[in-house]
Structure 1
Amino acid sequence: MHAHLRAARRLAGVLAIALPALLAACTADPPRPAPASTADPAPAEADAARDELAALAAAAQDRHLTATYLLVTGDGPDRTITVTSANDGSWRVDVPGWGWGGTVDVSLAANGDGLFQCALPSPGRPASGSCVRLGDPDDALPRKLDPRVQHPFTDWLEVLTDRRAPLAVSPATAPTSATGDCYAVDTTSASLNAPLDVGIYCYRPDGTPTAVRAAFGTLRLAGEPGPAPATVPLAGPVVEGDPVGREAPEPTDSASTGTP
């Protein structure tokens, strides 16, 4: 009988330990299902935006027109930029108040004969227009001669259509008073020589650039574009000489002394 009592006590002890655990297991919440995937759809959206912008930039390459754009820089008066993209592929961009400390209007143009800078009749240079050849049509401008506002209509279009270019593209809100489909463009390269200015680029479906916000300021289409000419005329004859720089030239000895 003593043996039976000892066995009963041992069984009671085991039950006292195991029973709470069994009860807890029975009353615990059932395992929750794994949450649905929350993968960020941004990569797909970014690819779509990149494709859309590339298509608009390609249309802009084929869009030949004459148009004016309001340039707002925030550090001077607003200026009207005239852009001409001719049917033969030549182009011209007139930039008032750029040269010689803002006193000389300049024009950049490229045709089959080369890349030219022309000085236009303006307050700081009342002489008639004349042009200086800077190089071949596809040559890069030296920084000191580069107004930069011509790039969105010329070589930056090639970058925007190149899917290998190190760019990140996303939809963006149009700058104030601008219209069109707009995209924010950033560079994914650590290089100091970025292929274009980061900013916002806007186009109509037919490829007409409607606005650009970049390091040089904001360009906004002013009025309806006109038809393109067959080719762009230079603003004057091509002459030998130095192009107009951004900074005002140093006065000569005769100018500083008042002698002729």
Structure 2
Amino acid sequence: MPRHADRRRDSRGAVAVGNPAQNDPVHDHPRPVRRPIGVLTLLLPVSSVLALLAGCAADGPTAPPTGPPSDPAPAPADTARDELAALAAAARDRHLTARYTLSGTDGPTRDITVTSANDGSWRVDVPGGALGGTADVALVATPDGLFQCALPSAGHSGPASCVRLGDRDDAVPHRLDPRVQHPFTDWLEVLTDRRTALSVSVATAPPGVPGSCYAVESTAASLTPPLDVGIYCYQPDGTPTFVRAALGTLTLAGPPGPAPDTVPLAGPVVAGEPLGQQAEQASPSPGTP
């Protein structure tokens, strides 16, 4: 075959020599499609913006829940009330022998002796605590009961003797109650119980009074207050150092002493009548109209 028979012309009129499969690959494979430069320029910024928006949505704040609102958070605890309750609890466990001065009453300043024994028995000696301030008494609680002991004094010339008033946890009858024993006995339970309707705030300690002080008020105005409103002060170990209330002002007179194992009665138990708060009226003499 003549040599010119191998010559072919491409689409542009150029002559190709040799094997068509080797010399004209353009006709065997499709050419790539070229996009206009302007379209690529527009597409790139759009894709970048979409990626940026997606990133912001992923890092943004979580949407609030759509369910029902939860209960409100509980109010903060009353710090002063909790502190006083803790100190009163320590006072209930505090066993000691201490002397307090009682002032602010109708009579002169008196020395009150408080004994809290290791077995839980207690005794409070109250000079002038009966018969209008003329007789000295002691209130004593032992496992055998609650007693009033009459001590030798102007209003009680005989020896010391005791009358049983009831069980050890019974309340002292109102007509016999000198009231100064309450801050060391049953009022401590009231101060410890956080359910009691009390309003408590921190108070400034009087000059020379150690410990922390709290102003206590009753919030149950229509009921009999469970204790006297006033100022109550305690050392960290629970030692009462100061009380100012309707009963008067009690101030710790010196460092407390050790507690005995138990509190003995001041005298034998007799079957007589206890001494009341009011002074006894003199019996009219014979012949007096």
Asked if structure 1 preserves the Cα contact closer than 8 Å seen for 2:107 and 2:133, the reply is no
Asked if structure 2 preserves the Cα contact closer than 8 Å seen for 1:175 and 1:213, the reply is no
- In structure 2, runs of 5+ residues without a counterpart are 1-74
SS in 2 for 1:98: strand
Pairing 1:234–2:269 present: no
Counterparts of 2:272 and 2:215, CA distance in 1: 40
1:132 is aligned to 163
1:89 is aligned to 120
Pairing 1:175–2:206 present: yes
How big is the alpha-carbon RMSD for the aligned residues of Structure 1 and Structure 2? 1.5
| Letter matched to residue 217 of structure 2 | D
SS in 2 for 1:233: coil
Counterparts of 2:129 and 2:286, CA distance in 1: 27
Pairing 1:207–2:238 present: yes
SS in 2 for 1:101: helix
Report matched runs for 1:64-79 at 5 Å.
64-79=95-110
Once the two structures are overlaid, the 10-residue window that deviates more, 168-177 or 207-216, is 168-177
| Letter matched to residue 269 of structure 2 | V
TM-score (norm 2): 0.71
Asked if structure 2 preserves the Cα contact closer than 8 Å seen for 1:118 and 1:131, the reply is yes
Counterparts of 1:224 and 1:257, CA distance in 2: 54
| Letter matched to residue 168 of structure 1 | S
Counterparts of 2:286 and 2:243, CA distance in 1: 45
Asked if structure 1 preserves the Cα contact closer than 8 Å seen for 2:200 and 2:214, the reply is yes
Aligned residues: 213
Pairing 1:193–2:224 present: yes
Counterparts of 2:273 and 2:106, CA distance in 1: 27
Structure with larger Rg: 2
1:127 Cα deviation from its structure 2 partner: 1.1
Could you list the per-position Cα deviations for residues 194-247 of structure 1 after superposition, in whole angstroms to 9, with x for gaps in the alignment?
A: 111110100000000001111111000001100000000111100001100111
2:181 is aligned to 150
Could you list the per-position Cα deviations for residues 49-99 of structure 1 after superposition, in whole angstroms to 9, with x for gaps in the alignment?
A: 001001100000110000000001242210000000000000000000121
TM-score (norm 1): 0.79
1:162 is aligned to 193
Counterparts of 2:269 and 2:204, CA distance in 1: 43
- In structure 1, runs of 5+ residues without a counterpart are 1-42
Asked if structure 1 preserves the Cα contact closer than 8 Å seen for 2:105 and 2:247, the reply is no
Could you list the per-position Cα deviations for residues 135-193 of structure 1 after superposition, in whole angstroms to 9, with x for gaps in the alignment?
A: 01111111111111101110101111101000000000123542210000001112332
2:136 to 84, 101, 105: 105
**Structure 1 ranges of 4+ moved more than 6 A:** none
Closer, same or farther in 2 for the Cα pair 1:232/1:144, shift >3 Å? Answer: same
Counterparts of 1:230 and 1:74, CA distance in 2: 33
Counterparts of 2:98 and 2:193, CA distance in 1: 25
2:145 is aligned to 114
| Letter matched to residue 78 of structure 1 | T
Counterparts of 1:257 and 1:119, CA distance in 2: 29
SS in 2 for 1:160: helix
